[in-house]
C-alpha cells in the first residue's frame, strides 16, 4: 500500500479506539484501552516522522511550499506524547486521571482532523504516486522490524536475572573469543624468511 493509505488506516484504527474510550467502562477497561491508544499513537508518530514527514519536508522545501501545517502537526505530536507520558507516570487521583485521559482523547482527535485536512492533502498534491508507494513499502518494512523488536523485548524481560544472564553470556563470549585468538596464534606456523634475508645469510 502507498504511504497515505497506511496513514489513513492508522487514523481509522485510532478513531475506533477513541470511540471506545469515550464509551462506558470501568477503570480497568479504560487502562487497557489507554495502553492500546498509547501504542497506536507511538506507531503513528514514528511512521510519520521517521519516513513520510521527512520526505515531504524535503520536497516542500525544494518547491517552496509552506510548511506551517507540517510544523503544527509535529508540535501536536509533542503535546500528545507529553499527555501520554503524564498518564504513564501515574496520576493517583481517579478524577484527575479521567480528566487527563479525556484531554488526551480530545487532542488526538483534533490532531487527526487537522492532519487529514492540511498535511495529508498537501502530501497528496506534492508527492507522486510512485514515491508514495515506495514510502509505503519502507513504512511496512519499518513496522515489521519494530514489531520483531517488541516481541523480542517481551520474551527477554528486563529483570535482574535476565540482565545477569545476559552479562554472563557476554562474558563467556568474550573469554571464548580471546581463547580462540590465543590458540590461533599458537597454531600459526612461524613466518618463513624472505628471499632477501636468505641472500644476506649466504
Average pLDDT over residues 125-153: 88
Task: Please identify, among 138, 155, 172, the residue that sits at the C-terminal boundary of a domain.
Answer: 155
Closest CA to 33 of 89, 84, 82, 79: 84
Q: How far is CA 121 from CA 70, 107, 118, 163, 197, in A?
A: 11, 20, 5, 47, 77
Closest CA to 110 of 14, 6, 5: 14
**Full residue range of the structural domain in which residue 138 is found:** 3-155
Same domain, 41 and 111: yes
Which is more confidently placed, 173 or 108?
108
CA 165, CA 100: separation in Å to the nearest integer? 40
Residues 37-82: pLDDT tens digits? Answer: 999 999 999 999 999 999 999 999 999 999 999 999 999 999 999 9
Q: What are phi and psi of 29, to 5 degrees?
A: -65, -40
pTM of the model: 0.70
Same domain, 122 and 188: no
Residues 147-199: pLDDT tens digits? Answer: 787 777 667 655 555 565 556 656 665 565 555 455 545 554 555 554 444 44
Same domain, 144 and 63: yes
Same domain, 119 and 189: no
**Angle CA 158–164–168, to nearest 5:** 130
Same domain, 47 and 131: yes
What pLDDT, on the 0 to 100 scale, is given for residue 184? Answer: 47
Q: Tell me, what DSSP letter sits at residue 48?
A: I
Same domain, 130 and 192: no
Residues 7-38: pLDDT tens digits? Answer: 999 999 999 999 988 876 667 788 889 899 99
Average pLDDT over residues 130-145: 93
pLDDT at 143 exceeding the cut of 50: yes
Same domain, 103 and 15: yes
What pLDDT, on the 0 to 100 scale, is given for residue 74? Answer: 97
Longest Cα–Cα distance of the chain, Å, equals: 100
What pLDDT, on the 0 to 100 scale, is given for residue 158? Answer: 54
Q: How far is CA 200 from CA 81, 97, 192, 194, in A?
A: 76, 88, 15, 10
**Number of domains forming the structure of the chain:** 2
Same domain, 66 and 147: yes
Matching residue, cell 519499518 = 142
Same domain, 139 and 49: yes
Same domain, 94 and 179: no
CA 63, CA 53: separation in Å to the nearest integer? 15
Matching residue, cell 498537501 = 122
What pLDDT, on the 0 to 100 scale, is given for residue 53? Answer: 96
Same domain, 140 and 104: yes
Same domain, 106 and 195: no
CA 80, CA 42: separation in Å to the nearest integer? 10
Amino acid at each position: 500500500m502507498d504511504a497515505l493509505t497506511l496513514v489513513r488506516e492508522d487514523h481509522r484504527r485510532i478513531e475506533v479506539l477513541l470511540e471506545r474510550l469515550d464509551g462506558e467502562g470501568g477503570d480497568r477497561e479504560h487502562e487497557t484501552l489507554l495502553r492500546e491508544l498509547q501504542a497506536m499513537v507511538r506507531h503513528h508518530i514514528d511512521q510519520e516522522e521517521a519516513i513520510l514527514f521527512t520526505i515531504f519536508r524535503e520536497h516542500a522545501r525544494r518547491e517552496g511550499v509552506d510548511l506551517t501545517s507540517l510544523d503544527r502537526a509535529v508540535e501536536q505530536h509533542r503535546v500528545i506524547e507529553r499527555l501520554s507520558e503524564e498518564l504513564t507516570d501515574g496520576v493517583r487521583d481517579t478524577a484527575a486521571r479521567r480528566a487527563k485521559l479525556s484531554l488526551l482523547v480530545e487532542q488526538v482527535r483534533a490532531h487527526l482532523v487537522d492532519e487529514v485536512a492540511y498535511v495529508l492533502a498537501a502530501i497528496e498534491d506534492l508527492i507522486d504516486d510512485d514515491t508514495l508507494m515506495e514510502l509505503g513499502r519502507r513504512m511496512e518494512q519499518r513496522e515489521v522490524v519494530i514489531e520483531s523488536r517488541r516481541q523480542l523485548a517481551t520474551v527477554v524481560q528486563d529483570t535482574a536475572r535476565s540482565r545477569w544472564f545476559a552479562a554472563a553470556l557476554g562474558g563467556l563470549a568474550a573469554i571464548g573469543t580471546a581463547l580462540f585468538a590465543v590458540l590461533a596464534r599458537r597454531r600459526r606456523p612461524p613466518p618463513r624468511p624472505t628471499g632477501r634475508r636468505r641472500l644476506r645469510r649466504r
